[in-house]
Chains A and B, each alone.
Chain A
Amino acid sequence: MDAKKWDKVATGVLTLIAGLIVLLLASLLGYILIRGLPHVTWQFLTNPASTFTKGGGIGVQLFNSFYLLVIAMVISVPLSIGAGIYLAEYAPKNWVTNVVRTAIEVLSSLPSVVVGLFGFLVFVIQFKLGFSILAGALALTVFNLPLLTRNVEDALKSIHFTQREAGLALGLSRYETVKHVIIPEALPNIITGMILGAGRIFGEAAALIYTAGQSAPSLDFTNWNPTYIASPLNPMRPAETLAVHIWKINSEGIMPDATAVSAGASAVLIIAVLLFNWLARVIGKRVYRKMTAA
């Protein structure tokens, strides 16, 4: 066989591989949605879970997932913006900065189960928070900080240096330049990264098993006082999230309709992730249009 024929064969094989991968994703999504969506009813989304009988829902878990996400983001967004500003604007080029960057790299590549164990040891036991939303949110913060920080740093660094010079030439201090000139311009990228990060921690389970706990006590949705023990807003209650719930019912196997519930919950989780991806794109674009008058 000559070179031209080989070229055709290789092209065919590579196209086949690409096609297979697309097929793989399509069948994954199709499987989850076809198996799961028939179970997703309003009742399923709002009822509390039942351990021993059929027909339980995921209401509490769904609420916990969102609440935990909000608290984790409230803690990690300001921290990552501060850290990103330092790395992009102030960090001198020396070995200390190199060590800091390495530390962030190492943190971002740590297995999430190690982060979860650290959270268990420090937040749950040492800080005596117990299995609680707060401990879970702190663990998620540790898990999410390096990626958010890198995202903020990249967003800030992509702004042209003439913008900084313009700010300084107007007599602004460096910090004021960052705050009033650089951050507004970098905002679309920062927001996109934050939403993608939110999607990532929404599906995270390994870091939460031993920090936010594996039980979801029923909530009283009429009492929103954060100090009341069954209040949905109480940050000190154990809170099993949707992702943890899927893991839990599959590895314990006492729930009679575990497969159906996990299929439904997986479908909800995937739709949420798709939604986060879509939102990241749309909001990023909209903010960009608003900020730049383009």
Chain B
Amino acid sequence: MDPIKASLLKKSRAAKTESRGKLISLLCISLIVFIVLAIFYFVASKGLATFFKDKVSLWRFLTQSDWNPSLKDSHGRPEVGALPMIMGSFGVTFLAALLATPFAIGAGIFMTEISPKRGEKILQPVMELLVGIPSVVYGFIGLSVVVPTMRHIFGGSGFGILAGTCVLFIMILPTVTSMTVDALKSVPRHYREASLALGATRWQTTWKVVLKAATPGILTGVVFGMARAFGEALAVQMVIGNAALMPHNLISPASTLTSVLTMGIGNTVMGSLANNALWSLALLLLLMSLLFNLLVRLIGRKGAMGR
């Protein structure tokens, strides 16, 4: 082949770097997707072993309240009723969201409708700092301030769902607030102008027009906050008391999925039923996280249709 033809047919240097660059970036993104799949595969294979290998019925796992995987019940079946932890997790999550939502909406309205300037200068950095504080620090504050306060007011040990709720409330507040602010900001200006032109006061405009239009966005924020609360491990574990019992009130020691996981996984033997049961809890946690994701999407789609 003559050299001219060869040089024309050969890939240029630029084309080579291009395909190499593209390949490298493709590999990076594939790795991330691979990691996600691996997480699902490993957690699911471990978590399902309780039901397939140890023959625990799923119904029993979800509805019974005796958590003692190393013991057997009167029928000779292992005691793996996860209901106390499920109740605990949902309890702290819903209560924290219930408490945080009004505060978040209030702060959001203040930052967008009442005083955007002070909102941006003061509240915005405050929220960023609250997000940045590590969860163990929240746990430590809960342990040294919230729990003694509960003990003082209600008696008992002070550990329990209420203490967990207080800590989670502060932790999810910035998440919900910042998404509420985004939702309120995305309400078109002319909605407000139309309402004000009809003679409505600022509060009437906010309450009857702006909040209505921003509802899907605010809901998304609340769900995100709940997802964070549901998955939070250490801060909750430090203040909830860690007793795998059915919580009969808000100030008795209880436990959540995450708290049992952090306490237990190091104290059980890999492959034993006690260990597999813990992995089932992890799988439950994973599925709930997926569910929250799905909820966010559904709300987003519905919000988009409403426009």
Contact = CB atoms under 8 A, between A and B. Distances in A.
Contact of B132 (A99, A106, A277): A277
B201 A3 contact: yes
Given A105-B293, A106-B289, A117-B43, A243 B38 contact: no
Interface in B95-119: 102-103, 106-107, 109-111, 114-115, 118-119
A176 interface: yes
B51 interface: no
A187 B199 CA distance: 49
Contact of B238 (A125, A179, A251): A251
A226 B293 CA distance: 42
Nearest to B46: A121
Interface stretch (A37-45, A201-209, A231-239, A282-290): A201-209
Interface residues of A, number: 91
Contacts of B170: 24, 28
A179 B21 contact: yes
Interface in B195-210: 200-204, 206-207
Interface in A1-38: 3-4, 6-7, 10-11, 13-15, 17-18, 20-22, 24-25, 28-29, 31-32, 35
Interface stretch (A52-60, A80-88, A158-166): A80-88
Most buried by B among A7, A113, A274: A113
Contacts of B38: 118, 122
Interface residues of B, number: 86
Chain A interface, DSSP helix/strand/loop, else mixed = helix
Contact of A109 (B119, B129, B289): B289
Contact of A246 (B20, B137, B237): B137
A274 B139 contact: no
Contacts of B130: 25, 28
B32 A149 contact: yes
A12 B170 CA distance: 22
Nearest to B288: A111
A228 interface: no
A114 B285 contact: yes
A7 B202 contact: yes
Nearest to B137: A266
Given A82-B28, A277-B129, A7 B204 contact: yes
B22 A270 contact: no
B106 A14 contact: yes
Contacts of B119: 18
Interface centre among A25, A28, A80 (most CB of B within 10 A): A25
B126 A114 contact: no
A204 B201 contact: no
A199 interface: yes
Contacts of A81: 28
Contacts of B122: 22
25 contacts: A11-B203, A17-B106, A21-B177, A82-B28, A83-B31, A103-B36, A106-B293, A109-B231, A112-B231, A114-B231, A117-B282, A142-B39, A145-B35, A172-B14, A174-B21, A176-B18, A179-B21, A203-B135, A205-B234, A209-B234, A246-B136, A247-B139, A273-B133, A274-B132, A276-B132
8 tightest A-B contacts by CB? A111-B231, A203-B134, A82-B28, A175-B21, A17-B106, A173-B18, A86-B25, A7-B201
